[in-house]
Amino acid sequence: MNDDEGRVDDDATGEPDRPGDRADTEATAPLSFGRPPAPPAPPGPPSPSWVPPTTQPPPGRWTGYPPPPGTQPMPAAPARHVAPTGRVPGWVWPAVTVLALVIGLLGGGLGSVVYEGLTSNDNPGAVSNGLDGVDTVSLPPLTKADGSVEAVAQELLPSTVQISAEYNGQKGGATGSGFVLDRQGHVITNNHVVAEAASDDGPIEIVDQDGDRYEATLVGRSPVYDLAVLYAPGVKSLKPASLGASQALRVGEGVVAFGSPLGLSSTVTAGIVSALHRPVTTGDSANDSSYINAVQTDAAINPGNSGGPLVNLRAQVVGVNSAIATTGGSSAGGEAGNIGVGFAIPIEQVKITADQILRTGEARYPVIGAKVQTGQDNGTGAEISEVVDGTPADKSGLQKGDVVTAVNGQRVSDGIALIVAIRAHQPGETLTFTVDRGGSQRTIRITLDSEVG
């Protein structure tokens, strides 16, 4: 393993990192986009209708963010006795009605002007206030008692969309999934669904549950977190999905996956949360540095589910389906599909990245300015292979050969775990690294810098 593989962050060139292979662990792969359904074939052995994903290295820990505090209804105000008054003149009520109508029209017009003022003509769909400037939903549509898979499906299907994007010069050559973020026409999906279309300004379409199509504009994307935000004015009429909290999940609780696996739109599958805090890479062969802290689930997800929502039984989105595990086995010359091990990007990271993209059209991720070895798997920590001059790591005193064993008190077992531990935080935060240097333990505080990606 050379030093250029498995970096904690980019060096001055800004080139993406690449992890090393780990032969003793199960590989993961991004959920490849699906292909449009092929016409019926003559009788004979079936053949795959999708392009299998590439093999990926595996997964450590999500330090994440705490769940939001619980809420409760405001108590009713006590009744008050009002003394009777004289009769109101008849002309008052028509005047009040007209005044209310005028105020309502002015308010609606002002709201429209304010929102248009928040958007950028140079980047359609951009919002200067980020998520604060759009109308998202967070209240759970269902109670725990109502949380059946059927009820969840009824709530989320209207908010789930199919993504059709250009691929290899072919319009609609790639299909994926997404969900409606807000009432302003924004949709969340995976970067790898639209990456090729974005690179050559190819067409992207959003298809709703009824089959209606909307031409979409890419607001921005993050290869590092495998997320993209799309904008289509026609989507304003669609119902936004309710956003929950992955940190409130418990292992074993039920979840539901939505999307368009293999091009089959509006597909619903159910399972459980198999594990939390799984560091996995969701990047393809061109960008292996896409590390996420994933929610692991056994709900069936396949190529084409990319970008679709993973939902709890209160009908709230808790993650974005992004990767599946592979065993290296294949059938008919291709890799196996769903084997009951899928991974979703936590909704907390989705909110952060979407907010950055809406504000500026790009996303940023935290870096310290060092390279780390990822091919080793002895569980003793992450060995630093290089420290770049002038970076936060260099200024803090981190040295080549140091072995990072913990970040903010959370154990770090290897290089990938260190990368994920850093990326679970935000630029500007100061983290405490526990370091083994020549058998002597010390602590080093590093303030995170950032890179675009």
Within a 10 A sphere around the Cβ of 427, how many other Cβ atoms?
13
Tell me the CA end-to-end span of the chain in Å, nearest whole number: 24
Residue 377 Cα distances to 16, 134, 258, angstroms: 22, 44, 35
Answer yes or no: are the C-beta atoms of 334 and 217 closer than 8 Å: no
Coil, strand or helix at 234? helix
Coil, strand or helix at 407? strand
Distance in angstroms (rounded) separating the CA atoms of residues 3 and 1? 7
Residue 171 Cα distances to 200, 233, 251, 273, 393, angstroms: 12, 21, 40, 36, 45
Catalytic residues: 192, 226, 306
Distance in angstroms (rounded) separating the CA atoms of residues 40 and 18? 41
Find all residues with CB under 8 Å of 219, minimum gap 6, and list them. 123, 124, 125, 126, 186, 229, 230, 231, 357, 358, 361
Q: What token pair was written down for 56?
A: 């990926």
CB neighbour class for 310 (10 Å; exposed up to 12, middle 13-18, buried from 19): buried
Q: Give 336's strand partners.
A: none
Find all residues with CB under 8 Å of 21, minimum gap 6, and list them. 57, 375
Answer yes or no: are the C-beta atoms of 359 and 128 closer than 8 Å: yes
Coil, strand or helix at 319? strand
Find all residues with CB under 8 Å of 156, minimum gap 6, and list them. 179, 241, 256, 258, 309, 311, 315, 317
Give the H/E segment covering residue 204: strand 204-207
